[in-house]
């Protein structure tokens, strides 16, 4: 198996899609280190993941924290970056600039810092996977900030695929996702989103996680954006 005994770091691995990536990587025989800002969340996730997983705290908003984190990790094979941000949903003209800056600081610059300091420690046949979102390719009123942030993430990853080669650099672009286990009794708000999905349901965290595993394992894929959105961007 392509991932057997590989060392995989999942930033944002304590919950949601990141947790699903960690679980699938463990199932594939990898050694997995999950990381996030919350020590409590990390400990809870470790209890659920079981043997083969470890955890360490990192704050992607703090460059020194990121630098020290990767020094502790040492050499490794693959990095997944799944960072959540408070996403503004206002129109362009009514957006709060402080909220806009905060969103970019968390999701874009957080991944930027992680990639910058991970590159020194990734093995030459390894990879890093960014996370964007389907708003980068679907124009939706009220989503200008989210669209710009995700598009910037994808553009950065494409350039890094050239600059950092032979390290592979890719991006996963999720669509509308219920990061909890799939449940037909979803809240009304989530049900309303289904009307925008050709497959008529939200994606599950485990389904999105499969894209990260593919990008870890396929040695001839780099500079790509893997869209997993149920057809939203069609």
Distance, CA of 4 to CA of 11 (rounded, Å)? 20
Triad 125, 156, 141: Cα angle to 5°? 135
Instruction: Name the phi and psi angles at 221, rounded to 5.
Output: -115, 115
Q: For this structure, is 132 an active site residue?
A: yes
Strands, sheet with 122-131, edge to edge from the N-terminal-most edge strand: 53-57, 31-36, 7-11, 76-81, 122-131, 168-174, 225-228
Out of 36, 41, 127, 132, the active site residue is: 132
Distance, CA of 185 to CA of 163 (rounded, Å)? 46
3-state secondary structure of 136: helix
Catalytic residue numbers, as ranges? 132
């Amino acid at each position: 198996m392509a991932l057997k005994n590989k060392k995989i770091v999942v930033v944002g691995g304590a919950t949601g899609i990141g947790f699903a990536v960690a679980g699938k990587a463990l199932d594939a025989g990898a050694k997995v280190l999950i990381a996030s800002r919350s020590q409590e969340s990390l400990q809870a996730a470790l209890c659920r993941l079981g043997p083969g997983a470890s955890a360490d705290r990192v704050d992607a908003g703090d460059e020194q924290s990121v630098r020290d984190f990767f020094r502790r990790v040492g050499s490794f094979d693959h990095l997944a970056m799944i960072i959540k941000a408070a996403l503004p949903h206002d129109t362009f003209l009514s957006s709060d600039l402080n909220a806009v800056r905060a969103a970019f600081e968390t999701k874009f610059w957080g991944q930027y810092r992680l990639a910058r300091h991970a590159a020194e420690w990734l093995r030459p046949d390894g990879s890093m996977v960014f996370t964007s979102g389907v708003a980068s390719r679907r124009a939706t009123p009220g989503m200008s900030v989210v669209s710009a942030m995700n598009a910037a993430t994808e553009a950065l990853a494409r350039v890094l695929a050239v600059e950092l080669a032979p390290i592979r650099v890719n991006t996963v672009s999720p669509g509308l996702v219920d990061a909890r286990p799939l449940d037909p009794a979803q809240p009304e708000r989530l049900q309303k989103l289904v009307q925008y999905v050709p497959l008529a349901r939200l994606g599950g965290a485990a389904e999105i996680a499969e894209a990260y595993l593919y990008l870890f394992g396929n040695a001839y894929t780099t500079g790509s954006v893997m869209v997993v959105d149920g057809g939203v961007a069609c």
